[in-house]
Amino acid sequence: VLFPDPWWKSRHAHRRLLDPMFLRVLARRLRPKGAIYVKSDVFEYLYQVRAAAQVSEALRPLPADRWPDERTWSLSTRERKCMQGAIPFGRGYYTRLPKFEPSLPLTPESPEAFAVPDTVDPTSVIKGAPPVDQSSGGRRR
């Protein structure tokens, strides 16, 4: 998931892609020993994704010895822009927990059962304004 929109405004927080329920869907679709890679130039969003992965009870951070070698990967447009504009970005690598059952549950899952605790409220985690792209003359992205 490359540079997902963090939906800066609190009233738009429900539109963020990587919430616990969606992470459970992704975990069900992973092949055995598969991984989910997330990149973002909004570090607060990466922290929120990590909290959502923990709450989802489906994913865990990938051990360092299984991190991918990105040197042969093609750069995304945003990644290239970040590198050219000296905008820092981070990564998150996740794999499915061994105890997570990938088959669909018999009864629908409730989003309330996988709510992110108040200590990591997604509406308050992402603060500030979007990063400024130095290569665009200071315009916000």
Which residues, other chains included, contact 81 with Cβ-Cβ below 8 Å and sequence gap of 6+?
87, 133, 135, 141
Give pLDDT, residue 138. Answer: 53
Give pLDDT, residue 35. Answer: 92
Per-residue pLDDT of the chain in tens (141 residues, 90 and over written 9): 999 988 888 788 888 899 999 999 999 999 988 899 999 998 888 988 999 999 999 999 988 888 889 989 999 999 999 999 999 999 999 999 999 988 888 788 888 778 776 555 544 545 555 556 555 555 554
Give pLDDT, residue 126. Answer: 53
Which residues are annotated as catalytic? 5
DSSP assignments along the chain, one per residue: -BS-----SGGGGGG-S--HHHHHHHHHHSPTT-EEEEEES-HHHHHHHHHHHHHHTSEEEPPGGG---GGGSPPPHHHHHHHHTT---EEEEEEE-TT---SPPSSPPPGGGGPPPGGG-HHHHS-S-PPB-GGGTT-B-
Which residues, other chains included, contact 118 with Cβ-Cβ below 8 Å and sequence gap of 6+?
none
Strands 90-96, 59-61: parallel, antiparallel or unpaired by DSSP?
antiparallel
Give pLDDT, residue 117. Answer: 65
